[in-house]
């Protein structure tokens, strides 16, 4: 068996380059988010996703803290990744990217994206929205809230979010 050290170096270089290319993004699958206390009866973490518990409907909330905002450059896009087999208007996911002033606690919404791009095919869907923001992690805490609403027994599953 031959040993090719240059292949190991090339492989490590490719891995590091790929990680560096994503350093300014915030990406998390749903397991990186917290189900709000009042929503625990309705939603469940299922490994890396969040979905409604059997028989549950109504509005529920999930929050995702952006823990490395100080390492990011100003983002300009939101991406919501999910599956929803319903095209009913009142069944939706609504992602809100917000910031809270560290000194005053004042909260403001920076950008939103919703599941209106859903085609009801029960396959992975990606909805995006562009935005501009002054982005100042020394002044603000950044986070994402996802509002679920289900009025029927059809289910939806949150896969994750990206801010880039």
| Extents of the domains making up the chain | 25-163
Q: Is the pLDDT of residue 147 over 80?
A: yes
Per-residue model confidence (pLDDT) at position 60? 96
Per-residue model confidence (pLDDT) at position 9? 37
Q: What is the mean pLDDT of residues 54-81?
A: 88
Q: Is the pLDDT of residue 10 over 60?
A: no
Per-residue model confidence (pLDDT) at position 59? 95
pLDDT band at 6 (very low <50, low <70, confident <90, very high): very low
Q: For residue 44, is it left (φ>0), alpha (ψ between -120 and 50) or beta?
A: beta
Q: Is the pLDDT of residue 87 over 50?
A: yes
> Virtual CA dihedral for 15, 20, 21, 23, nearest 10 degrees?
130
d(CA 108, CA 111): 9
Between 7 and 88, the more confident residue is 88
> What is the share, in percent, of the chain residues with pLDDT greater than 90?
51
pLDDT band at 155 (very low <50, low <70, confident <90, very high): confident
3-state DSSP call for residue 25?
Answer: coil
Helix (H) or strand (E) holding 26: strand 26-29
3-state DSSP call for residue 40?
Answer: coil
Residue 161 and residue 82 in contact, taking contact as beta carbons nearer than 8 Å: no
The residues, ordered by sequence, that sit 6+ positions from 86 with a Cβ below 8 Å of its Cβ are 118, 120, 150, 152, 154, 156
Per-residue model confidence (pLDDT) at position 23? 55
Q: What is the mean pLDDT of residues 76-102?
A: 88
Encoding tokens for residue 162?
């990206």
Average pLDDT, the chain: 82
CATH of domain 25-163: 2.60.120.260
Per-residue model confidence (pLDDT) at position 70? 67
d(CA 72, CA 77): 13
Q: What is the mean pLDDT of residues 36-55?
A: 93
What does the buried/exposed string (b/e) look like for 39-50 if buried means 16 or more CB atoms within 10 Å of the residue's CB? Answer: beebbeeeeebb
Q: Is the pLDDT of residue 152 over 50?
A: yes
Q: Give 111's strand partners.
A: 97
d(CA 113, CA 49): 19
Sole residue written with tokens 């059997």 = 54
Q: What is the mean pLDDT of residues 58-69?
A: 88
């Amino acid at each position: 068996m031959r040993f090719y050290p240059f292949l190991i170096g090339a492989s490590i270089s490719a891995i590091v380059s790929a990680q560096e290319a994503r350093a300014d993004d915030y990406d998390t699958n749903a397991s990186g988010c917290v189900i709000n206390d009042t929503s625990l009866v309705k939603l469940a973490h299922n490994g890396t996703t969040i979905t409604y518990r059997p028989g549950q409907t109504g509005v529920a909330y999930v929050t995702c803290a952006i823990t490395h905002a100080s390492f990011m450059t100003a983002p300009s896009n939101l991406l919501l990744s999910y599956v929803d087999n319903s095209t009913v208007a009142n069944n939706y996911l609504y992602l809100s990217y917000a910031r809270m002033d560290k000194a005053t606690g004042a909260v403001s919404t920076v950008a939103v994206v919703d599941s209106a791009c859903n085609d009801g095919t029960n396959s992975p869907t990606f909805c995006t929205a562009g935005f501009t923001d002054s982005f100042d992690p020394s002044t603000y805490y950044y986070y994402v809230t996802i509002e679920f609403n289900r009025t029927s027994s059809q289910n939806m599953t949150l896969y994750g979010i990206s801010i880039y």
